[in-house]
Each structure stands twice: as C-alpha cells, then as structure tokens.
C-alpha cells in the first residue's frame, strides 16, 4: 500500500513515516501543501494523510483540488483541537476521516487501516471515464456496445479509471491488482492490458490505454 503523508512538522513527519514504514506501508513524505499536490498529480496512492495547517497550500486546499480533479483516493485529515470548522469543511470537501492532534500512534494506524479498506467502496460502484461505463457488479464494460469482462479485467480497469490521465507503473499494478498473487509478473500485467485494449476497441470506445510491455500505462481518450 502506497501512502502520501503531508505534514509540515518535521519531527512528527519523520515519526509517522517510520511507524507506517515499519507496518509495511510505502510512504512518500511532503512538508507543505504545494509539494503534496505535486506528488498527488504525478503519482498514485492508496491513501492520503493531510495536515490541515501547512504552508504554501492548506490541507483543505489540497483536498478541494484533488477532488475537483477526480482523485477519489481516501483522505485522513490531521487537525488541531481548535480547528472544528476546518474539520467540518474537510468532511464536506470529501475527506474520509479526521484525527485530532495530539493523537496516539495506535489510533493513527487504526484510522489508516480503516481508510485504505474503505477504498474498496469506490471500486464496487459504477465508474465512468470518457465514453465508457464500467459496471463492476455486472462485470460489464459499455460504450457504443457492451461486453463482459473477467473479474481481473474489472479490477485492472478500475485502477486505470481511478487514475485516468496519470501513468501507472507495472510495479504499481502488480502491487494493487495482483497483490494476493505472488506468481504474477510483468507479463501478466501486459497480457491483461492487451485484453482490455481489445475490449475497449470492441465496444467502440474512444478511451485507449497507452504504454509498452514492462513500463507504465495510462488511460486516456482520443479526441473526436
């Protein structure tokens, strides 16, 4: 699981990063809101931890931007006790949870586990991008025509739609779509990318998957 931690207090940032890394999470640290936004617009994460009060951009400003850009990655806000209105604004803006400082590290871990599990709630919903509609429960992909997908094709396309316009590495896809299959490798990813390309074409979609075997892949849409 990849997490972004945005916290401008250096000691706290280092302590939380060390804790999460020890629990097996891959943590990217940001020390201000602008840096956090740059990471989020150029990489993919399974969960985001945002301090509300940060220099350059506040956590709320970062949250508002990423939700406007269609990034639905779960967000945990870190707030001071006095920031009641900010917590309300954050939940209204699309935060999934908040934790008040000072907090116990054990509680932070519990909130992160809950937040990353909640990511599955997005995945079970109907998802759309460009002219395609993915109906996960029915295992259907629709555009001009409709076609049935395998469960693994659905999971892969969900990852691509969640991150449409951003490149996903083969390693990221293996760690997220094939996390429970240790024998899966780059050729597995390429095989399913090839399947999806064929099915996007067969339903008459303008959506295409760019990328080459063993590299990064991005879902985008052709003009016209």
Closest CA to 59 of 105, 91, 81: 91
CATH number for the domain that contains residue 138: 1.10.10.10
pLDDT in tens, 130-145: 999 999 878 899 999 9
| HSE-CB for 70 with a 13 A CA cutoff | 11
> In terms of domains, do 104 and 155 share one?
no
Return the exposure string of 127-151: e unless at least 16 CB atoms fall within 10 Å of the residue's CB, then b: bebbebbbbbeeebbbbeeeeebee
Give the model's confidence band at 215: pLDDT under 50 very low, under 70 low, under 90 confident, else very high. Answer: very high
The domain containing residue 146 runs over which residues?
127-221
Say whether pLDDT at 122 is over 60: no
CATH number for the domain that contains residue 22: 3.40.50.2300
Give the model's confidence band at 109: pLDDT under 50 very low, under 70 low, under 90 confident, else very high. Answer: very high
Say whether pLDDT at 89 is over 90: no
> In terms of domains, do 87 and 139 share one?
no
State the pTM of this model.
Answer: 0.62
- Percent of the chain at pLDDT above 70? 94
> What Cα–Cα distance (Å) separates residue 118 from each residue in 10, 13, 69, 95, 219?
28, 24, 20, 12, 24
> In terms of domains, do 139 and 114 share one?
no
């Amino acid at each position: 699981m990849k997490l972004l931690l945005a916290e401008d207090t250096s000691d706290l940032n280092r302590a939380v990063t060390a804790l999460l890394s020890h629990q097996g999470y891959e943590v990217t640290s940001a020390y201000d809101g602008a840096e956090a936004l740059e990471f989020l617009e150029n990489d993919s994460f399974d969960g985001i931890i945002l301090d509300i009060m940060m220099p350059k951009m506040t956590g709320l400003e970062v949250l508002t931007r990423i939700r406007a850009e269609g990034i639905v990655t779960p967000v945990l806000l870190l707030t001071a006790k006095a920031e009641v209105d900010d917590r309300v604004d954050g939940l209204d803006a699309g935060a999934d949870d908040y934790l008040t400082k000072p907090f116990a590290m054990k509680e932070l871990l519990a909130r992160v586990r809950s937040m990353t599990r909640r990511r599955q709630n997005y995945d079970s919903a109907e998802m759309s991008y460009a002219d395609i509609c993915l109906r996960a429960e029915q295992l259907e992909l629709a555009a001009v025509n409709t076609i049935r997908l395998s469960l693994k094709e659905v999971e892969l396309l969900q990852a691509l739609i969640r991150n449409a316009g951003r490149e996903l590495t083969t390693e990221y896809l293996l760690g997220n779509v094939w996390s429970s299959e240790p024998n899966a490798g780059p050729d597995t990813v390429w095989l399913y990318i090839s399947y999806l390309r064929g099915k996007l074409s067969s339903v008459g979609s303008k959506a295409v998957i760019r990328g080459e075997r063993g590299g990064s892949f991005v879902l985008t849409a052709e003009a016209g």
